[in-house]
Structure 1
């Protein structure tokens, strides 16, 4: 039988109240080397099953369903479906996990969460280091703090292309329901065409991760109100966010692997080139015939990511 993950929950807080975030866990629960995998906008933690099975002997692999998705609660106020809220939820999760070392794999939105988390941690460390109060310094950060050992950014960077966001936003809030799984698979093939070629079995697996059988119909697993939070963003919001993300990226002091779908419309070749130039600890791996975003389901995509992460264990 294939290895199966454990499902657990952590209680998080938003300004609207409490919510539970689900997370899928692989490997030895006593392993304090944690690999946290964060998924894309409309996906779930189960997207990382293949990568997690590959690395479960090396890491405690934790794959949360971000709030509003999968097995996690939906937020009472959809206005808080934003990266700052997701970062706060991840901090709550990490406080439970107490990793001695922390590696991060983030696909699309999950990469932005990782960058924002790293930026928040760096700012907190700087503030403590400059705090004039006795004993107030970066050493006060707990042993399970947010310093990253390795970061994998899967087809995402600090600069987001507005047309690509528009393409994604066009289907996020659409209420769809299918009478059969086969119909859901066919629809997924169309909306996720940019993810590249997959076998029929892989497409079915991919679909089962994001559709649920409810009242005899196959429906999306996530809160359709995600679309409202996405639509509330404007050019000024994106410009301010991009500035902060570049600051966080430039400040990363751990090795970074950028996974790039050559045909991606979200992470362009120009942005990739700039990322490699701005951070000397970064490297990249590219997959032709794939757009946004590589699914990390095949050995060809898994192996370079796994080798990069395992290099921190040497």
Structure 2
């Protein structure tokens, strides 16, 4: 029968009036009783005793008034404050590395996490895919719908947990130029192996060299300014290397069918992204530090300073609001 009665109705039985409960009445009664006993123990005139008792009773009223900020009554706030002051602060001096769930790297493309509950939860493996799309507005109306449906299918048929991450990362022109120069070398090898014709070789090489020239001009133009690009990642989770590998291959297959370019990230690249999530403009993680700490990622990813408040927290001298407005809607509309 107790399970049938709504919770609010059950609570109502213990209320005297509005939000005044039996507990509130008992607290006020104890306060008033002790106050009167204390005041009447003095050899004062009766009117002084009555006035003092009335003042102390009025002082007790905030104990049963609800604080709008905390949604707690005065006596509850007082109890929690006293409890906090006298409680044993087990983790107050511990390192922030305890908050990092990532443990170590596995093979070339995975990261192992710590079990959330000791001896009760298996360690999870994490992998990630970087995706790069195209300007859908350049397509015809029918093509736009087809591409959106392809993207919709990726998330529709992925019946396992994934995390979609968007980061605004600073562009590194030097790395892009080095990458393009490597592409010229690869094109030369393809031509020597008769994989492409001479005309194709000239056309591809010319296009790459034009891109390099453009990047070098941009590099001179921006000087010390930070130029960014939107980067998109999908994080995938698995209980074993085989399980995770199958999930990543499934996603890559679906993305390629939707004409979306993607590539699996190495564990170094994943660690770099995990660090840049908190501050995209921070100096990227170098490979030397990564190799030194790849079996202890918590040390590598920990905050030097962390202070948590009700609506925000400060980590490494940066302010993070908990009430941040996101770029994307909470509910995805059809074909979004």
TM-score (norm 1): 0.24
TM-score (norm 2): 0.23
Greater gyration radius:
2
Structure with higher helix content: 2
